[in-house]
Amino acid sequence: MLGLIVNEKIICEKALADKYIEGKPMKIIRLIIKKYLNEKLTKEQVFEKVDNFMKEIYKDKYNKSYWKKVISDSINTVSKYNNYNLINIEKIDIYKEELDIIESLNDIRLEKLAFVLLIYAKINKIINPTSDGRININLAYIFKESKLVSDKKLLHKLVDIQYILTSKICDSTTMKINYINEEGEVRLTVFNLNDLNPITYYLEYKLNETYNNCEICASRFKQKSKKPRKYCNKCAKEIDKEKAKERMKNIRNFQ
């Protein structure tokens, strides 16, 4: 889900195994610190581990004195967390009562939005069990995940009918989702929580659409024909390009 990390454990293990950090390193460094604190290493031991890891990444360009401060500060920040468990959310269960409330909106755009908000609230509840269920997510992310063009009027409507509670709607708003249940009869399970995938479970359920997981990038794509496809459009195009290159190479070799 955009704006939330649901698989800290996988991201952390991958960075350590590949000795590679994608994008900005701070988030990953904090995850690695959390992992080692969870394994009961002392702050000094954690420092040494992270320092070595960063050295392996930056090699000759490693600025020891700069990173010394960054790593020490991060260790101090992370050591104040309530717990050091790495988040690893594999699925989100949706209950019958929750789906009934969403479906009773009887407007597919509102339903999609309400479904995505519910997933955000449920993930948030797992990440912060002591929170009161409020979420604070960038609105652009919420609309993207809902596969909707940004339209605050839709959110206002959900506020009007008290599906969500919020003081005012700006670009990033704290909202409370009123139709989340603590327990119930599971009607739908969302397994693929990667960006932009959860909404496809609702579309499958509601519109009888069929989605497959791409064998390469694991994103879910709509199954349009009877013959099942293995790859999403993007990956299929990449494969075609590679095949074309191969063919050209063979032609050249033949001449």
Q: Which residues bind Zn ion (CB under 5 A)?
A: 214, 216-217, 232, 235
Buried b (16+ CB within 10 A) or exposed e, 202-240: bbbebeeeebbbbeeeebbbeeeeeeebebbeebeeeee
CB of 213 to Zn ion, least distance (A): 9
Rounded to an integer, what is the distance from CA 28 to the centroid of its chain? 15
Shortest distance, position 169 Cβ to Zn ion, whole Å? 34
The two structure tokens encoding residue 31: 């995850």
Closest to 222 (Cα-Cα) out of 1, 231, 91: 231
Q: In the 3-class helix/strand/coil scheme, how is 35-77 assigned residue by residue?
A: HHHHCCCCHHHHHHHHHHHHHHHHHHHCCHHHHHHHHHHHHHH
Smaller CB distance to Zn ion: residue 178 or 213? 213
Q: Name residue 22's amino acid.
A: E
Please report how close the Cβ of residue 235 comes to Zn ion at its closest, in angstroms: 3
- Give 180 or 199: the residue with its C-beta nearer to Zn ion: 199
Which CB, 11 or 232, lies closer to Zn ion? 232
Q: CB-wise, 46 or 214, nearer to Zn ion? A: 214
Encoded tokens for 215: 């064998």
Side chain identity at residue 243, one-letter code: K
Nearest distance from C-beta of residue 70 to Zn ion, angstroms: 35
Rounded least distance, CB 183 to Zn ion, Å: 35
Instruction: Give the residue with the Cβ less far from Zn ion, 135 or 232.
Output: 232
Q: How far is the CB of 2 from Zn ion (least distance, A)?
A: 18
Half-sphere exposure in the Cβ direction for 80 (13 Å, CA): 5
Residue nearer to Zn ion on the CB measure, 70 or 193: 193
Nearest one of 181, 114, 89, 170 to 137, comparing CA atoms: 170
